[in-house]
């Protein structure tokens, strides 16, 4: 079965990315009604990045906030025009079920809280957008998928890069044969972690270290850039356990992914150096993104070296976040599965678990 994507590119249905990342399926507008989002967690990402994006959306609006800090919630509500009736805390969260303005709950909480709030949102009759990484374990991911299925609600993971212009163009170029037969994928993702007391460095809240938080971009990109699912992984961890930041979670973890076509993926994840890079090598050239998955300023080259920089066509929305938020709204109205549904998050977490196991047991792990 084949599918024709938005840019006229023929892609195989049922492959790892089907419509994802190479373009979005054509969908009807939301008939004038914007779907209402409740943002859970007014932290760096929820408040700093997501909430200001609704002004760029065509099909989505902000209607509610969930926060443990009433003064902050009130201030944010006033700034963004959310009525007082749309302010919730973690205790009265379940009463969102009585608010018909809320269609979608967007979970922007520490990873250990993703499963609980996704499941409670589904039980309250709401669709869910959940941040990456989906949860601390594949078991939790499965429970989240099951809860949304049982409630008849959509579940999407906040993989914004599937809506980002440079990534979309890189995938299109790779699929179009611009670099010949793909042989090798490489990606390094990292940043320098600071405060040792941050939830990201507490295993119970984060589920793991750099791999869960930032290395997952390299892993997810390896899958959407190649369009394949890895069949085996091999990983090695390097962490200075005397560093107060890394008492509980890993710093550096490098992992190799083997793909069915023979492509090798080589990734590095770090909490002690800043890097953001994706490189695809084919038998006729290279596609290079550096930075590749940032909020802005991503750059793309194609050719033998970095002499030809590519300015990608505009992405599917005004910004990658507007496209991501509107995609779920449109999927709900058109009853389509999101291109990065819960199953996509689960696939990554299953591979993450295999990577950790490989590093622990110092052996190659074959993936089911
Ligand atoms: P953050 O620490 O800045 O914000 C977390 C929010 O959760 C805060 O408002 C905090 O008050 C609230 N919270 C509620 N209960 C808490 C508890 N028990 N402990 C700690 N905080 C609690 O974190 P963040 O950077 O906003 O990350 C939130 C989620 O967003 C994470 O899943 C993260 O991976 C994801 N994220 C995604 C991207 C992206 O580009 N897609 C970028 C950054 C973060």
Q: State pLDDT tens for residues 166-189.
A: 999 999 999 999 999 999 999 999
User: What's the gap in Å between 44 CA and the centre of ligand 1?
Assistant: 6
Number of helices (H), then strands (E), in the chain: 9, 16
Q: What is the pLDDT at residue 32? A: 75
Ligand 1 atom with the smallest distance to the CA of 205 is: 19
Q: Residue whose CA is closest, atom 12 of ligand 1?
A: 41
DSSP 3-state of 319: coil
Q: Is the CB of 160 under 6 A from ligand 1?
A: yes
User: What's the gap in Å between 40 CA and the centre of ligand 1?
Assistant: 9
Q: Is the CB of 132 under 6 A from ligand 1?
A: yes
**How much is the pTM?**
0.94
Q: β-strand 87-88 against 60-66: which pairing, if any? A: parallel
Ligand 1 atom with the smallest distance to the CA of 159 is: 41
Quote the CA–CA distance of 276 and 191 in Å, as a whole number: 8
Among 117, 159, 217, 271, the one annotated catalytic: 217
Q: Is the CB of 282 under 6 A from ligand 1?
A: no
Q: Give catalytic status of residue 217 as yes or no.
A: yes
Ligand 1 atom with the smallest distance to the CA of 295 is: 40
Q: What is the pLDDT at residue 23? A: 54
Low-confidence ranges of the chain (pLDDT < 50): 1-22
Q: What is the pLDDT at residue 13? A: 31
Q: Any idea which residue has 């943002």 for tokens?
A: 39
Pocket test for ligand 1, best of 43, 89, 132 (most atoms within 8 A of CB): 43
- Using a CB cutoff of 8 Å and minimum separation of 24, what contacts does 329-332 make? 329/30, 329/34, 329/35, 329/57, 329/59, 329/60, 329/103, 329/104, 330/27, 330/28, 330/29, 330/30, 330/59, 331/27, 331/154, 331/156, 332/35, 332/103, 332/104, 332/127, 332/154
Q: What is the pLDDT at residue 368? A: 87
Q: Is the CB of 68 under 6 A from ligand 1?
A: yes
Q: What is the pLDDT at residue 15? A: 36
User: What's the gap in Å between 134 CA and the centre of ligand 1?
Assistant: 13
Quote the CA–CA distance of 25 and 21 in Å, as a whole number: 11
Q: What is the pLDDT at residue 231? A: 98
């Amino acid at each position: 079965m084949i599918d024709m994507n938005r840019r006229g590119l023929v892609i195989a249905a049922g492959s790892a990315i089907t419509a994802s990342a190479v373009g979005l399926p054509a969908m009807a507008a939301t008939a004038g009604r914007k779907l209402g989002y409740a943002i859970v967690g007014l932290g760096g990402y929820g408040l700093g990045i997501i909430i200001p994006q609704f002004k760029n959306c065509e099909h989505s609006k902000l209607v509610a906030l969930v926060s443990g800090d009433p003064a902050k919630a009130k201030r944010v509500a006033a700034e963004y025009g959310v009525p007082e009736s749309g302010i919730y805390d973690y205790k009265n969260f379940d009463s969102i079920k009585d608010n018909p303005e809320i269609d979608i709950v967007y979970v922007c909480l520490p990873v250990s809280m993703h499963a609980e709030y996704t499941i409670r949102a589904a039980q309250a009759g709401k669709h869910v957008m959940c941040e990456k990484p989906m949860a601390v374990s594949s078991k939790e991911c499965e429970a989240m998928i099951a809860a949304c299925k049982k409630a008849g609600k959509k579940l999407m993971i906040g993989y914004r890069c599937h809506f980002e212009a440079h990534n979309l163009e890189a995938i299109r170029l790779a699929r179009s044969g611009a670099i010949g037969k793909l042989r090798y994928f490489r990606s390094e993702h990292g940043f320098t972690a600071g405060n040792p007391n941050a939830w990201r460095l507490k295993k119970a809240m984060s589920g793991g270290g750099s791999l869960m938080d930032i290395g997952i971009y390299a892993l997810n990109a390896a899958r959407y850039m190649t369009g394949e699912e890895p069949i085996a992984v091999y990983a090695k961890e390097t962490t200075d356990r005397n560093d107060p930041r890394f008492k509980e979670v890993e710093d550096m973890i490098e992992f190799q992914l083997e793909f069915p076509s023979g492509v090798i993926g080589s990734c590095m994840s770090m909490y002690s150096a800043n890097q953001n890079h994706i490189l695809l090598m084919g038998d006729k050239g290279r596609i290079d993104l550096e930075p590749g998955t940032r909020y802005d300023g991503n750059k793309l080259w194609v050719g033998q070296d970095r002499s030809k920089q590519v300015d990608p066509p505009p992405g599917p929305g005004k910004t990658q976040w507007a496209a991501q938020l509107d995609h779920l709204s449109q999927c709900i109205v058109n009853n389509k599965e999101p291109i990065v549904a819960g199953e996509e998050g689960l696939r990554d977490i299953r591979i993450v678990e295999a990577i950790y196991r490989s590093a622990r047991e110092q052996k190659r792990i074959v993936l089911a």
